Chain A
Amino acid sequence: MRHLTPCLAALLLLTSSAAFGQRRKVIFDQDCAGPGGTDLQSLLVMIQSPDVSVLGITVVTGDQWRDEEIAHTLRLLEIIGRTDIPVVPGAVFPLVNTREATEVWEQRYGQLAYIGAWDKRWWHEASVVPPLAEGQPHTKPSDEDAAHFLVRMVRKYPHQITIYAGGPMTNLVLAISLDPQFPELAQGLVFMGGSISPQSDDPEFANNPRHEFNMWFDPEAASVVLRAPWKKIVCTTVDISIKTRLSQQAMNRIAASDTDLARYLSRFYRANYMWDELAAAAWIDPSLITKRETRYMNVDLDRGAGYGNTLIWTENDKPKITVQPVEIQVDLDIEKFYEMFVRLMSARTPAAH
């Protein structure tokens, strides 16, 4: 930038997409556990970006139950003054998988490290919303359900909307069932999910490398969605996600900014991998990713020890059944990613547009 004349720099700013109102459209389909945390922080990456228009947030059970997640999402939007973004209730339960079936599975094959909303450490019924540490929301979710919303929006803006999936894919499989053209009417699918060969000492990943929560929670949904005719599929796996970490130093830099958002984030900070933040940020700025590979992907649906595991192939060895190419992110410019995250979280929230 320092080699450019001020005049040219100004011109570049003017021609940037946001200046012409051509924000990239996204529907944020996710399990929105809160307060804080990777689900809501990735939502914030999208909302805080001046180049992005979040058309709606379709909420699905995953890390927490849907209704609890909706409450956290609504409250966050109130805090940042963006209650114009619709929060749309999605599926309460996965398509086929159940907590009871998981209990039976665990008796046979051993305990899973993480089962989200079904974990007995914080168990409550699906309809219960425990009191929120960040305060109760006053706003309400949409009356429409997620599947109908997704279909309606891609038909309103054909080939313009990216579907960002940061959780189990139940809402997306329901949308495909309602309207088989849904995938091809979207601009593409970006998702965090799957695990191939993560390099880690953490036994959660080392002992069960092909197991990943989002795919496992609703394997049947993931299998249908991954084989659907999307124009493009981009995937952030466990392998690349666990190279990232939200550090206390980064959070201190965010906290130095005098906004309600920064106070919210630092109050609910937990050290964690930046699973979903990376998927969202790399969609906004693909140059964060320094290495990518194309693979074909599906999910193990056999009701045995490998239920929900990630299956991948190359062009040469892929099976005869329909599988789609997936662009898998392999490596990233980690400092650039951290800088982008701190910058977006420290910024003033763009106004409703």
Chain B
Amino acid sequence: MRSRHILIDTDTASDDAVALIMALRNKEVTVAAITVVAGNVGVDQATRNALYTTELCGSDVPVFRGADKPLSRSLEIADWFHGSDGLGDHGYMPTRREAERDHAVSAILKIIATRPGIEIITLGSLTNLALALREKPSLVADVSRCVVMGGAPCCEGNVTPAAEFNIWVDPEAARIVFHSGLPIEMIGWQLSRGSAVFDTLDIAKLKRFGSPLADFTISANRVAIEANKIQTGQIGIALPDPVAMGILLRPGLCLESGDHYVDIETASELTRGMTVVDRLNVAHDPRNCIVWSETLKREARIKICWKLDVERWKALVMEALR
């Protein structure tokens, strides 16, 4: 029974594509739409990548092109990590599918209005969702979950020492979404590191599948493997978006979580896009309460996942690619 409806917002590059495959092949959820935003790559490339991935899965889910740049900053892409086409430059065939005519923001507004209780997952910067919230703040009431792949809670970032890429790209948009009252589950970048990295053994296992989706995953992440090795010293494929998708599909994969005040740094250049987490509950302290007043007043705590059930998550990813 497909009873759960989900909307995926993505800046489709290598690990986004794996997350899309997981959702499109899952029998328990219906993907109502894929909305695309600029981030890892430009919005046109990301849209082509999303369409190509849906085609690989034999899905005709509507794909909507969205914001081509952050709210007020210029776009800085991550081709150094994902390859210039976002999919490892492995030379995939041009897609036959086309994006819908509507803008992603219009689509988000319409789809939420017609499917109350929908679950949203964001795999890229939060520009589309922020624009939708500014057009209709009340959409919050019709969203039952909002899983955000983004941030580096209480740890180092992957684009600056302070920040994770998705939040860093458009920190103003992230701030709007984090302050909106949406039921956010924040899936930080760090969950995809360490034992969660698809190592050489996991990759060998994928190769033995011999399935088109497993082969695609390996070739689409070719550049990412190199970049990950340079950045973290770990050999293998880090898959932050599939971690978020896993938790969306199976909430039990998150073994430890907590509700915290979170704010996004938008002023400083040094710490731009940092997800500042009040882990020890000190925001109320008189020394902090002025700076934190905006967050405190909204009483919007963010659910942060601190620990992933790595073994069961990897099994879920493998199952989708088999």
Contacts and interface: CB of A to CB of B under 8 A. Distances in A.
Interface of A: 91-93, 95-96, 98, 100-101, 103-104, 107, 145, 147-148, 170, 173-174, 177-180, 220, 223-224, 301-303
Q: Which 5 A-B pairs have the closest CB atoms?
A: A100-B294, A303-B267, A220-B72, A96-B172, A178-B103
A107 B105 CA distance: 36
5 contacts: A95-B134, A96-B176, A177-B131, A178-B105, A224-B71
A169 B71 CA distance: 13
Contacts of A95: 71-72, 134, 172, 176
A147 B134 CA distance: 11
A96 B266 contact: yes
Main SS at interface, chain B? helix
Interface in B39-91: 67-68, 71-72
A177 B106 contact: no
Nearest to B109: A145
- Count chain B CB atoms within 10 A of each CB in A91, A93, A178 and give the residue with the most: A178
A172 B172 CA distance: 18
Contact of B134 (A91, A100, A103): A91
Given A178-B106, A223-B72, A100 B290 contact: no
A224 B72 contact: yes
B266 A303 contact: yes
Contacts of A223: 72
Nearest to A151: B103
A220 B71 contact: yes
Given A93-B134, A174-B134, A301 B72 contact: yes
A31 to B, nearest CB: 15
B297 interface: yes
A148 B103 CA distance: 10
A220 B171 CA distance: 13
A135 B275 CA distance: 48
Given A178-B103, A178-B105, A220 B172 contact: yes
B144 to A, nearest CB: 22
Contact of A145 (B127, B135, B298): B135
Nearest to B127: A177
A173 B127 CA distance: 13
Contacts of A170: 134
Contacts of A177: 67, 71, 105, 127, 131
B136 interface: yes
Contacts of B137: 92-93
B106 A148 contact: yes
B222 interface: no
A303 B175 CA distance: 14
B293 interface: yes
Contacts of B131: 174, 177-178
A104 B135 contact: no
Interface in B278-299: 290-291, 293-294, 297-298
